[in-house]
Structure 1
Amino acid sequence: MSAQPETLHSPAPASLTSLGKHDGTPVLRIVPVRRTGQWTAAVAVLVLLALALSSVVRNDAFQWEVVGAYFTTDSVLRGLGLTLWLTALVMVLGFALGTVLAVLRLSTNHVLKAVSWGYVWLFRSTPILVQLLFWFNIGALYPQILGVSTVNLLGPVTVAVIGLTLHEAAYAAEVVRGGILSVERGQLEAAQSLGLGPWRRLRRIVLPQAMRSIVPPAGNMLIGTLKGTSIVSIIAVQDLLYSVQLVYHRTYQVIPLLLVATLWYVAVTSLLSIGQHYIERHYARGTAGTR
């Protein structure tokens, strides 16, 4: 009688047998990957941030009591109001002019296309400070225009609006042009087949779809314009920065007054960022980008 062949059983790992089913069949245990390096880096970053925040709060040189005293004074709030008004007006006028320039750039008329391209090239190639100083001294170049004296015609606020608007329009034109080009060609062909005119196609078909591509860079432009308005202080426009400068030129408390302006800029840009997020969600409805 022949001996039965011996059955060899490989011993299962302890981690598997301990989790076996009732019938003895081993199952695999899912072990999460240990991310020791990532957790160590996160803790180190949090510690550094806590140390930095503690040093800012506990450093008497920041003079936080002075910051609190001037944060909501009338002069600062008036400067903030002018900054917000200037930002809103420049963005509206800049995008209105930029939309016209974008349409001309996409025109089949080579003259209009060349004029639009030249405008964008010129104003994007010139620093905004140079443009503001040029408009501020326009009376030295043209003392009279159509019999009207230009020496005292343009005040600082008017110069700021003109200079910032013309500058922003060059960038807005490229933003709008990029958004229009992102619309599928088939949408335009469908609109043409319905007999819609060029301006109606642009207003009813192209721009609503292009807004998905226009809103993110436009939001960045809005925040950049808000902070960029601080440059108008060079021509004595009493915006937020100029208002705090007037105070610290009198009190010599430079750091706390600059912190007042900084905190207001941070607060407003944070609100604008939240608004941008919801506008992006609105125009991204029905797409993969909705979140």
Structure 2
Amino acid sequence: MSGFDLSAILANPEYRAMLVHGVEMTFIIYAGSWILAMSLAILLLGIRISPLRFAEPVVKGYVSYHRNVPTLVQLMLWYFGIYTLMPQGLTDWLANHNAEAIFAVIGLGLCQAAYFSEDLRSGLRSVSPGQMEAAKALGHGYVSAMRFVIMPQGIRNALPPLINHSVSLFKNSSLAIVVGASELTHAVKEIDNLSFRTFEIYLVGTVIYLFFSLIIMGIGASVSMRTDLAGRGRR
């Protein structure tokens, strides 16, 4: 099939429906994995700054594993390995409830939590030790000082890397194709197989990923600006 014809993709209602479904599934996977990653990152940070002796080595091991093993391999381990070792009843339930998307969320979320936790830890470490002393001088206890003085500054300092890793997580959602999740990249590949318009459909997919990545970056920049202004206003 010769000649560039973008309308062959965009004007086809079946292809448009597949793309819309792919975008919806991409954001389901992205949102689910982001929530899991941030929740776990906060937990890991809390464990790491706790006085427990065994805590830091355990968190360091978790972070080291997830930062040094490719995300693609982790997804395949979850879906093609751990999934097959689960009880039959559980695997049947997962199979009836989009197991591919569920394991994509788990794999991506657990992996991204390692990066988010390091971002948050770096943000906290960048807060001057004098801030804690000043908070205690004003009558705050440790928990109160962390909640109202240290954590707000630490999160504000951590926003730039958190935004970057949030965009990376959105792009890494495309890796869910390896476990059969019907996200955007999967839809693009299926449309390519049906239409034989390889350049056109991959161009559309590229533009969609770029568009939403820029939106996420814009939202992140807006949040960062607002928190920075709010922080200056309290000084």
Q: Specify if TM > 0.5.
A: yes
- Structure 1 unmatched ranges of 5 or more: 1-59
- The correspondence for 1:238, drawn from 153, 166, 182, is 182
1:269 aligns with 2:213: yes
Candidates 104, 109, 122, aligned match of 2:65 = 122
Partner in structure 1 of residue 76 of structure 2: 133
Gap change, CA 1:239 and 1:200, over 3 Å in 2: farther
Deviation at 1:159, TM superposition (A): 0.4
1:113 and 1:238 map into 2 onto residues whose CA distance is 38
Q: 2 CA distance for matches of 1:157 and 1:203?
A: 35
In the alignment, residue 94 of structure 1 is paired with which amino acid? Answer: A
Listed one character per residue, the Cα deviations across residues 235-271 of structure 1 (whole Å, up to 9, x for unaligned) are 1111111112111112222211111111111111121
Q: Counterpart of 1:96?
A: 39
The secondary structure found in structure 1 opposite 2:11 is: helix
Give, as a single letter, the amino acid of the residue that structure 1 aligns with 2:110. Answer: L
Give, in angstroms, the shift of residue 287 of structure 1.
7.8
Secondary structure of the residue that 1:284 maps to in structure 2? helix
**Structure 2 length normalisation: TM-score?**
0.86
8 Å contact 1:132–1:160 — kept in the other structure? Answer: yes
- Counterpart amino acid of 2:8? V
Mapped contact 1:139–1:150 kept (Cα < 8 A): no
Quote the offset at 1:150 in angstroms. 4.3
1:200 and 1:160, CA in 2 relative to 1: closer, same or farther beyond 3 A? farther
Structure with higher Rg: it is 1
Is 1:66 aligned with 2:12? no
Partners of 2:100 and 2:181 within 8 A in 1? yes
Amino acid at match of 1:270: L
Which of 117, 121, 130 is the equivalent residue of 1:177?
A: 121
Which stretch of structure 1 is more off in the superposition, 100-109 or 175-184?
A: 100-109
What is the RMSD of the two structures over their aligned residues, measured on CA atoms?
Answer: 2.3
Where does residue 161 of structure 1 map in the other structure?
A: 105
Deviation at 1:194, TM superposition (A): 4.4
SS at match of 1:226: helix
SS state of the match for residue 46, structure 2? Answer: helix
Q: Which runs of 5+ in 2 are unaligned?
A: none
How many residue pairs get aligned? The number is 225
Displacement after TM superposition at 1:282 (Å)? 1.4
Name the CA distance, whole Å, in 2 between partners of 1:194 and 1:93.
36
CA distance in 2, matches of 1:258, 1:164: 23
Q: 1:118 to 1:78 in 2, by over 3 A?
A: same
Could you tell me the TM-score, scaled by structure 1's length?
Answer: 0.70
Give the aligned partner of residue 172 of structure 2: 228
Alpha-carbon distance change, 119 to 184 in structure 1, aligned in 2, over 3 angstroms = same
- Which of 8, 22, 29 pairs up with 1:86? 29
Moved more, 121-130 or 184-193: 184-193
User: Looking at both structures, which has the greater relative contact order when contacts are Cα pairs under 8 Å and sequence separation is at least 6?
Assistant: 2
Matched with 2:55 is 112
> 1:70 touches 1:260 (CA, 8 Å); kept in 2?
no
Q: Is the 8 A contact 1:70 1:257 kept in 2?
A: no
